[in-house]
Structure 1
C-alpha cells in the first residue's frame, strides 16, 4: 500500500473529488476563518499586549482562552465537516501536562493535526510552535503568531540560539500551561531531501533513514536544557496519511486526507539524558523508531496499539463557533458604526505592520 506521495499532488488521486459544493463550502470556511481571526486580533491583540505589562501569566491565560475558541473550528472542520478520520494509537496521555512535542514532518499541514490531539486534552489554546521566520510575515496569521509567542528561526544557529534561549526562558513558569511543538527535521519530507539526508548520514556514521529525515538536534537540546525543570514529559508524535499527503487547500476544500494516523509516545522528562550529547543521541534514536513505525504503517495500513480517544464534541464545537461568530459580529458592527473604533482598528493594523516588517526573531523577542 502506498501511504504518502510527498513530491507532487495529483488531483486524480484525491480521496474525494473537488465538487462545486466542496469548493463553495471551503471558500466560505476560509473567509470565516480569516475574517474572525482578523477581528479577534484587531480588538483583542492590543489588549493582550498591554496586559503583559501587568501580568504575563494572566495575559497568556486570556490569549490562550480566545485562541483555543478560534482554533477549535479547525478540528471541527477536519473531522465533522470534511469527514477526515483521525486515528490515535500508542499512549493515552493525561490531561493538561506541560510538554515538549517532537513530530515528524510529512507535509505542510502536519502542524494543524496536532490541534486534534490538543483539543481532546484540553490544551488547544496552549500550543506553541517553533517555526521558520518567513511564516511570521503571513498576512493576518503572522500577526497572530507574534501575539501567541511562537518562536521563529532563520535556520542559522548563530542567530537562532540567542533568540530561542531568550524566548524559551519566558516559558519557565510551571503555572503557564504549555504545549511546545518542534519539528526536528527542520523541513517537510521529500524524496530529494531524503536522499541528501541519507548521504550525509552515511558520511558521518549516523543511521540511514528512509521515511524521515535525520533530525537536527541543537534546537531540541536547547529546549530541554532551558525548560527541563518545568516540563512534565516529551510527547513523541509520528504522523502518517493514507493515500497521499494533503496540502493546505486539500484540508480547506475537504478533498484529502481520508485518514490521519497519529502515534503518541509519552516519555517522562526524567527519562531523557541531561547532557547535550546524550540527548542528541536519544533524539536520533527516537527518529529510528519513527522510521520503523512508518515502515510498518506502509505495510499494515495502521500503527499498532490503536487507542480509544473520544471524538471531537459536536455540541461544544458549535458553541465555541457561535461565540466566535458573535464576537466577530459585535466587533464588525462597532468598526463600522463608531469613529473611535475605526481609529482603534487602524492603530491595531499599524501595530501589526510594525511587527511584520521587522525581522521576525527580533520582533518576537521584543514582544516577550
Structure 2
C-alpha cells in the first residue's frame, strides 16, 4: 500500500516543472519512509515483543555516567524512554549477526527521531523486485553491482547528493552500513579466516574481518557536505547464542515474526565519533562540497581517489575498532553485559510512543478503505 501510494500520488509530481512539486514529492517520500519505520516498531510490538538494552560510550570520554545518560535519554511522565539525543546526521555501522539486525537498527532510529531519513546500501538485483524493490528505490536507497570499479563512483555520487541535500534542507540523515558485508555464519567465517591468513593477521573471534573500502568512501563523500557528521558504531549481541555459535541459527526472520520467538533483548553498545576529529578518513580539504562526484572514472573528485597511505591508515583503524567489538562480545558472553557491573544501561521496550501513531503506520491503507466504503454504500 505504501508503494501503491508512492506510484499513484507521488510519482506524477516528478513530471511537474515546479519547485514546490519537487518539495512536496520529497516530503511525501519522507512521510512514507517514516510510516514504514513506525510499522517496523509496531510489528515488533504486536508480534515479536522485545527490548533494546543500550549502553553508551563517547570517544575520548569512556563509558557514560548516569548524569550523562540522563542528558541523552528522553523519558515520558511514567519514566518510559521515548527518545534519545544522538547525532542527527551520521553513518551508523554495526557487526552483522542475524538478518533482523537492520530491523532493530532502523527501530533504534525511531527513538533517535531519524527513522524517516534512513538510507541503506543494497545489491542492485533487489531494486527490480516487484513492490519491495520499487519501494526501496522511492526511498532513495543505494544499489550497487558488487563491482567496485563502477560502484565507487555511484556510491560517492549518491551519498554526496544526499549529504548536500540534508545540509541544505537542515534535515536528518542516518546511513546504515555493515562493513563485514554479510552475516557471520559457518560459510562466511572460513572466508574471513582465509583472508586474515592471506594478509598475515589474526582473524576475528566473533565477527568477520571488516572491509574498509565502502565505509571509507562513504565518510569521505559525506564529510565535506556535512561538517557535523558523526559515526555511530554499534556492537550488537543477542541472548541465547553460545560462544562461537552463529546468530542466524537461533534467530531468523521466520522464527522471530512467524513463530513469534524473538530474542528477549537486543544488547547495543553505542560509541559516537566526530568524523572530523576522531576518524582518520584522510585529507579532504580540497574537496568542493558544492560539486558532486561524477559517475565515470574519467571525471571524478578527490573523495573517489584515495591515496594508498590514507587507505591503509583507515583500514587499520577500522580493524582495531572491530577487535574492540570482539572484546565487548567476549565480555558479554562471560558476564551478560558489555559494560562493567554497576555501569548504567537503558532499557527500551520496542513499542510506539503514542497509540495514535498506529494510524501513521497504516495511513496508506486509507485509499483502499475509502474505496471499499464507497463501493459498499454507493
Length-normalised TM-score, structure 2: 0.72
Of 154, 157, 160 in structure 2, the residue corresponding to residue 166 of structure 1 is 157
C-alpha deviation, 1:298, in angstroms: 1.8
Question: Is contact 2:236–2:268 with CA below 8 Å preserved after alignment?
Answer: yes
Could you say which residue in structure 2 is the equivalent of 1:363?
none
Q: How many residues align?
A: 302
The list of structure 1 runs, each at least 4 consecutive aligned residues, that deviate by more than 6 angstroms after superposition, is 335-338
1:200 aligns with 2:179: no
Aligned-residue CA RMSD (Å): 2.7
**TM-aligned CA distance change 1:63 to 1:200, over 3 Å:** same
In 2, the alpha carbon distance for the partners of 1:265 and 1:48 equals 40
Structure 1 range deviating more: 190-199 or 114-123: 190-199
Matches within 5 A, 1:76-91: 76-79=42-45, 81-91=47-57
Q: What is the Cα deviation at residue 314 of structure 1?
A: 4.2
Q: 1:71 to 1:274 in 2, by over 3 A?
A: closer
Give 5+ residue unaligned stretches, structure 1: 1-35, 339-368
Counterparts in 2 of 1:84 and 1:198: CA distance versus 1, 3 Å = same
Range with bigger deviation, 94-103 or 264-273: 94-103
Output the CA distance in 1 between the equivalents of 2:347 and 2:331.
22
The answer for the alignment partner of 1:60 in structure 2 is 26
Output the CA distance in 2 between the equivalents of 1:326 and 1:75: 15
- Greater RCO (Cα-Cα under 8 Å, separation 6 or more): 1
2:358 is aligned, of 305, 308, 321, to 321
Shift of 1:210: 1.4
For 1:317-356, what aligned pairs fall within 5 Å after superposition?
318-331=355-368, 333-334=370-371
Please state which structure has a larger fraction of its residues in helix: 1
Counterparts in 2 of 1:182 and 1:326: CA distance versus 1, 3 Å: closer
Q: Distance in 2 between matches of 1:196 and 1:136?
A: 27
Matches for 1:1-368 after TM superposition, within 5 Å: 36-47=1-12, 49-50=14-15, 54=19, 59-79=25-45, 81-91=47-57, 92=72, 94-95=85-86, 97-173=88-164, 174=167, 175-229=170-224, 230=226, 231-244=228-241, 245=247, 246-253=251-258, 254-270=260-276, 271-275=278-282, 276-277=310-311, 278-304=313-339, 305-308=343-346, 310-312=348-350, 314=352, 316=354, 318-331=355-368, 333-334=370-371
Q: SS of the residue aligned with 2:190?
A: helix
| Alpha-carbon distance in structure 2 between the residues aligned to 1:196 and 1:315 | 43
Shift in alpha-carbon separation, 1:76–1:324, aligned structure 2, 3 A: closer
Distance 1:146 1:335, change over 3 A: farther
Asked if the contact 2:50–2:264 (Cα under 8 Å) also holds between the matched residues in 1, the reply is yes
Structure 2: stretches of 5+ with no match in the other structure:
58-71, 73-83, 242-246, 283-309
The answer on whether the counterparts of 1:101 and 1:235 sit within 8 Å (CA) in structure 2 is yes
